[in-house]
Amino acid sequence: MFTMLRRRPREILAKNPTEGLPLGNHSNELSRSEPIGVSMKFQYGSGDTPLDGYKIKRGVGSGGFGEVYFAESDSGKEVALKRIQKNLEVEVRGVRHCLNLRHPNLVAIYDIKFDKIEQGWIVMEYIDGDSLRDLMDKAPQGMPAAETMQWFAQLAAGVAYLHDQGIVHRDLKPANVFTDGGLIKIGDYGLSKYISASRRGGQTESVGTFHYMAPEIGKGEYGKEIDIYSLGIILYELLTGTVPFDGESSQEIILKHLTADPDLSQVPQPFAYVIQKSMAKNPTSRFRDCREMLTALGWGLDASGLAIKVTNAVDVNVPPLLQPARTASRATEIPIARPIGSFDATVAGSPPVQGKSDPWKYRNGRNRDNITDSLYREPVARAIHQAVGEAQTFFRSLPPGGRGVAIAVSIIFLLMNSAWIAPMMFLFLGAYVCYYVVWYLLGGANKPIPANATGARPQYARYDQPVRTSPAMVQPTVHYQNAPPAALKPTPIPYRVALRNWQTEQRNDLKKRGFWTRSHEYTRSWTVSGIVTAVLAVCGGMLTIARYDGNANPLVSGIAWVSIMSLAMTWTVLFLARRWESRDEDSIVFRFVQLTAGVLLGVGSYSLSEFLMVPWSDIATSQNFVVINDGNVMWNKSWKGFYDQNSVPLLAGHIAYFGSLMWMVRWWRQSDILRKSRFSAWSIAWSVAMAALVQGFFYFPAPWCFILAGVTSFSLQMSSPWMDFKQNKQIT
Amino acid sequence: MSHLARPVSSSAPTIAMPQPKILWIDGVGSYAICDQNEVTIGQAFPGNQVDLAIRGDLSRRAAVIRRHGEDHLVQPLQSVHVNGTEIDRAVVLCDGSIISLGSRIELRYVKPTQLSGSARLELIGHTRWQPLLSAALLMGESCVLGPELNSHVVCPDWTTKVVLFRNGKEWMCRVSEQANIQIDGKLVRAPFPLVQGQRIRGDEISMTLE
């Protein structure tokens, strides 16, 4: 003991505190854990007392911002002492702001002290446990879902508390998260930045570890969305044992954050959904806060801010419930007599907490507005959404040529087979409506569906199936040290985000245009569309002639009808779109206006076909391949009064067709000056598909109804003015 | 003579607990070095004379662990279970044995290698040692500190290992020359004695015996 006492002062004086910092301190910014083989050297050794009142026992580790020691106060209190090395001013300010935060899932900060040589020390709670990083290293294949949730829920609870206090952690990573006998403790939130609405980027220095860093950090945005993003990555890593984006260099990793999508093929539901949503490139598409994220996983926060499992959610493998516990609270009027079963009595990582304030009140009050995503409440809709998402991903993975072929093939397939596809669709729709009504009436929106009640969830992997990843994926990251700890270059903004920002900006500018500029645009578009429609209608008519085996002359009146009607539609839409393009999109209102215009167009169409005496029954090929023939009744023709004996649409038929078509398709988008691309084959395909859908409901002579929609879409896009985002971007 | 002049009052009233020898290893943890033949385990409270104290609900003197050649035996002084079975006489421990003291305290006996009679005693769950320890080392004739998982003290970030071995009453350190071990700023040649209060520093090794 006494040798030590004598040695101490010399040790302190011998070393300048800033010199000879160990390697580990610097490399830590890039490495996920302490690099193997590199020593951790500490300025002070056991028995040193650089700070009055505390005796250092041993070095614990060194983070990006300083060495951490385990120490005991003179009276025997065990603490962690963190020596602030870099950015003293910034760090002290940040920590001072967090000095009085109190949450079980945060490492408590006791005090900030300065020693004789004006070094700053943070006195913190000492956590005697592994970091999440250590735990993950022990489970290179990922953890079971239940264990993952045990950790993750508490982590999210701690972050939720920080956010509630207006603090963004900004450096969430497994190495900063500690476990203390089943309890999660988030550390290093001294880096945190006070959220202020106006000034989001304060420190210009890049912070965080690249693997867990949200794409918008490159832009200097430090909203709480970056924590949500990091949480998504940590959740991914907990489950799979690997980070979603890895690379040889920091640049490579950053690029992946900006462009790549995480591989969720090995991740079971609902985790895949939660990870995908929290890792959205666009910050506004992520979960709005941690509560929403937890809710999607079947967890929540109790009134004291601790993570709590919603037992109604059955299991983590059951899709998330967004309005848990409501039926339970409805069932019991008297709060005291409430059944305990609706909330798990155990709070994650801590002994049961009883007699706290009412969790339901909390859920139905503050928490409730988070419950918005109706898509994920209903299992069938969710399954379809999932399938569509997968199809989309597949489609995107095709080369451009392949995409074209795929579109062409599917259009041809749809047209040729609409005879059975359309009735199937309607059957399904009808069945679904019935199902939804039953589901809703049974309280499906409010309470969980037992796993076997719907049978609509076969593709969700059970969580107890081990999450497998290929061995190549789970290689521990040895490369990290090689990557240069370069300062972050200003990183490009993700395309989608940039496009949206640009659109908003431009839309504001569009409001300022003068009357004449606008009129000029109208006339120009109208003229162009006139020419385009005429040409296209003729081409379309030719296609019909090729299939037609009678006298082709009556077709001329059909072609005339198509040209004039699609011209009228184009002009109508052009007129509406020009008026709307400086406004924020209000889909339902716009659709309704279009519907109204559609009714007028229907009237026009009927008069026109009467005037031209279009011989519909002669020139419609629909008898051969489009009509839905259910026994003897063609049921989409069975709207009495819509059609005459020869199935030729009357006024009501025209109105129904045009009205529906105008309602179904968001035509104004195809004419928007700020649309994504000048010309999109997708839009045409979509318009035609919608026409087919309408045709399945209200019969209209084919192929004319399809030609009409296609021609309108084509000419609309051709004649509408367009601002090239990419070009515009280069100029500015 | 000077120590005779020292006031005695400082040591008189507050002899709390006999402090075990503790090896503080930077970046790794703290380990009690129990090199006596009999190690008493009991509750941590001021004045209790046990070798290893646990903060928890157990007797003042709960069990004695006795070294017997290369093996360790546990002698119950209160209700003690080994691997779930209550014992009423001394029982030989083997690698992985779980010792339960009272109703809530569990210890794991780890003997990483049969080449050495040393073993590690870890607390499972929430309970802690007093003073705070990562584990207690029941010392045989030698003990290994190193990166391998079968070391008595696993030091994941090290590349070399340190072997502690008995030399009469004192402990000696054997370590590779490449480690550049310094004591009080002076390069030392292995083997060197492990002296309380001396800080041992190398390229990656940094530890102190208290």
Two tokens at B121?
């005693």
Distances (CA, A) of A324 to A343, A374, B20: 9, 13, 54
Two tokens at A562?
């198509």
Does residue A635 lie within any of the structural domains? yes
Nearest to B27 among A11, A61, A72 (CB): A61
Q: Is B132 on the interface with A (CB under 8 A)?
A: yes
pLDDT at residue A601 greater than cutoff 70: yes
Does residue A379 lie within any of the structural domains? no
Nearest to A306 by CA among A267, A355, A339, A350: A350
Does residue B15 lie within any of the structural domains? no
Range picked from A316-325, A381-390, A407-416, B100-109 for highest mean pLDDT? B100-109
Average pLDDT over residues A631-660: 76
All residues at 6 or more sequence positions from B45 whose CB lies less than 8 Å from its CB, including other chains? B53, B60
The pLDDT of residue A341 = 37
Tell me which chain B residue has its CA closest to the CA of residue A4: B197
Same domain flag for A136 and A76: no
Same domain flag for A116 and A144: no
Does residue B205 lie within any of the structural domains? yes
Average pLDDT over residues B193-200: 89
| B52: β partners | B41
Find where tokens 């990573």 sit.
A173
The domain in which residue B60 lies consists of 21-209
The pLDDT of residue A134 = 86
Residue A555 to residue A545: CA distance in whole angstroms: 7
Nearest to B26 among A7, A58, A72 (CB): A58
Find where tokens 């049974």 sit.
A442
What residues of chain A lie within 8 A of the CB of B126, using their CB? 181-182
Q: Which of A69, A94, A125 is the last residue of a domain?
A: A125
Asked if B128's CB is within 8 angstroms of A38's CB, the reply is: no
Two tokens at A629?
């023939």
pLDDT interval class at A468 (50, 70, 90): very low
Q: Is A20 on the interface with B (CB under 8 A)?
A: no
What residues of chain A lie within 8 A of the CB of B132, using their CB? 70, 78, 126, 128
Nearest to A58 among B30, B159, B185 (CB): B30
pLDDT at residue B41 greater than cutoff 90: yes
Average pLDDT over residues A359-369: 34
Which tens digits make up the pLDDT trace of A137-182?
Answer: 888 888 998 889 999 999 999 999 999 888 888 888 888 899 888 8
Does residue A605 lie within any of the structural domains? yes
Does residue B73 lie within any of the structural domains? yes
Rounded to 5°, the CA angle A183-A187-A193 comes to: 135
Name the maximum alpha-carbon separation found in chain A. 117
**Higher local confidence (pLDDT), B179 or A662:** A662
What residues of chain A lie within 8 A of the CB of B195, using their CB? 3
The domain in which residue A349 lies consists of 132-315+324-370
Q: Is B205 on the interface with A (CB under 8 A)?
A: yes
Q: Which of A125, A151, A185 is the last residue of a domain?
A: A125
pLDDT at residue B16 greater than cutoff 60: no
pLDDT at residue A64 greater than cutoff 70: no
Same domain flag for A64 and A185: no
Same domain flag for A118 and A208: no
Exactly one of A48, A171, A227, A344 is catalytic; which is it?
A171
Annotate A448-463 with three-state secondary structure: CCCCCCCCCCCCCCCC
Annotate B118-183 with three-state secondary structure: CEEEEEECCCEEECCCCEEEECCCEEEEECCCCCCEECCCCCCCEEEEEECCEEEEEECHHHCCEE
pTM for the predicted model, two decimal places: 0.52
Same domain flag for A144 and A42: no
The pLDDT of residue A154 = 93
Does residue B198 lie within any of the structural domains? yes
The pLDDT of residue A469 = 38
Which tens digits make up the pLDDT trace of A216-268?
Answer: 877 777 788 889 999 999 999 999 988 898 887 778 888 888 888 888 888 88
Does residue A476 lie within any of the structural domains? no
Asked if A57's CB is within 8 angstroms of B198's CB, the reply is: no
Which tens digits make up the pLDDT trace of A664-681?
Answer: 888 988 888 888 888 888
Average pLDDT, chain A: 71
Looking at residue A64, which CATH number applies to its domain? 3.30.200.20
The number of distinct structural domains making up chain B is 1
**Higher local confidence (pLDDT), A445 or A71:** A71
Looking at residue B27, which CATH number applies to its domain? 2.60.200.20
What residues of chain B lie within 8 A of the CB of A4, using their CB? 197, 208, 210
Same domain flag for A155 and A91: no
Average pLDDT, chain B: 86
Q: Is A74 on the interface with B (CB under 8 A)?
A: no
The pLDDT of residue A250 = 79
Distances (CA, A) of B62 to A39, B43, B47, B50: 40, 8, 16, 10
pLDDT interval class at A643 (50, 70, 90): confident
Same domain flag for A77 and A188: no
Asked if B208's CB is within 8 angstroms of A45's CB, the reply is: yes
Number of neighbouring beta carbons within 10 Å of residue B55: 17
Range picked from A208-217, A392-401, A529-538, B23-32 for highest mean pLDDT? B23-32
The pLDDT of residue A728 = 66
Residue A308 — φ and ψ, nearest 5°?
-140, 140
Give the mutation candidate from A41, A46, A74, A131 for the B interface (greatest B CB count, under 10 A).
Answer: A46
Nearest to A45 among B158, B202, B206 (CB): B206
Does residue B10 lie within any of the structural domains? no
Chain B residues 9-68 with CB within 8 Å of chain A: 24-27, 29-30
Does residue B194 lie within any of the structural domains? yes
Which region, left, alpha or beta, applies to residue A42 given φ > 0 means left and ψ of -120 to 50 means alpha? beta
Percent with pLDDT over 90 in chain A: 9
Residue B54 — φ and ψ, nearest 5°?
-120, 135
pLDDT at residue A435 greater than cutoff 90: no
Asked if A3's CB is within 8 angstroms of B198's CB, the reply is: yes
Tell me which chain A residue has its CA closest to the CA of residue B179: A39
Same domain flag for A40 and A180: no
| A113: β partners | A121
Asked if A45's CB is within 8 angstroms of B199's CB, the reply is: yes
A219: helix, strand or coil: helix
pLDDT interval class at A209 (50, 70, 90): low
Same domain flag for A136 and A82: no
Asked if A59's CB is within 8 angstroms of B206's CB, the reply is: yes
Does residue A8 lie within any of the structural domains? yes
CB B160 within 8 A of CB B182: no
Same domain flag for A184 and A242: yes
Nearest to B157 among A34, A42, A57 (CB): A34
Does residue B12 lie within any of the structural domains? no
β-pairing verdict for A120-125 and A109-114 = antiparallel
pLDDT at residue A269 greater than cutoff 90: no
pLDDT at residue A485 greater than cutoff 70: no
Nearest to B27 among A11, A40, A78 (CB): A40
Q: Is A48 a catalytic residue?
A: no
The pLDDT of residue A696 = 79
Average pLDDT over residues B99-121: 91
pLDDT interval class at A71 (50, 70, 90): very high
The pLDDT of residue A283 = 87
Same domain flag for A87 and A143: no
Q: Is B192 on the interface with A (CB under 8 A)?
A: no
Give the mutation candidate from A1, A10, A15, A39 for the B interface (greatest B CB count, under 10 A).
Answer: A39
Average pLDDT over residues A441-464: 44
CB B175 within 8 A of CB B202: yes
Does residue A427 lie within any of the structural domains? no
Does residue B169 lie within any of the structural domains? yes
Residue A677 to residue B36: CA distance in whole angstroms: 81
Asked if A40's CB is within 8 angstroms of B26's CB, the reply is: yes
Q: Which of A370, A386, A405 is the last residue of a domain?
A: A370
CB A440 within 8 A of CB A650: no
In this prediction the ipTM stands at 0.84
Chain A residues 170-189 with CB within 8 Å of chain B: 181-182
Does residue A311 lie within any of the structural domains? yes
Which tens digits make up the pLDDT trace of A298-338?
Answer: 888 888 888 888 865 444 444 443 433 333 333 333 333 33
Q: Give the number of A-B residue pairs with CB atoms closer than 8 Å.
A: 83
Looking at residue A204, which CATH number applies to its domain? 1.10.510.10
Which tens digits make up the pLDDT trace of A564-594?
Answer: 888 899 889 988 888 887 777 788 889 999 9
Find where tokens 């167009």 sit.
A601
What residues of chain B lie within 8 A of the CB of A182, using their CB? 126
The number of distinct structural domains making up chain A is 3
pLDDT interval class at A349 (50, 70, 90): very low
CB A97 within 8 A of CB A122: no
Same domain flag for A215 and A164: yes
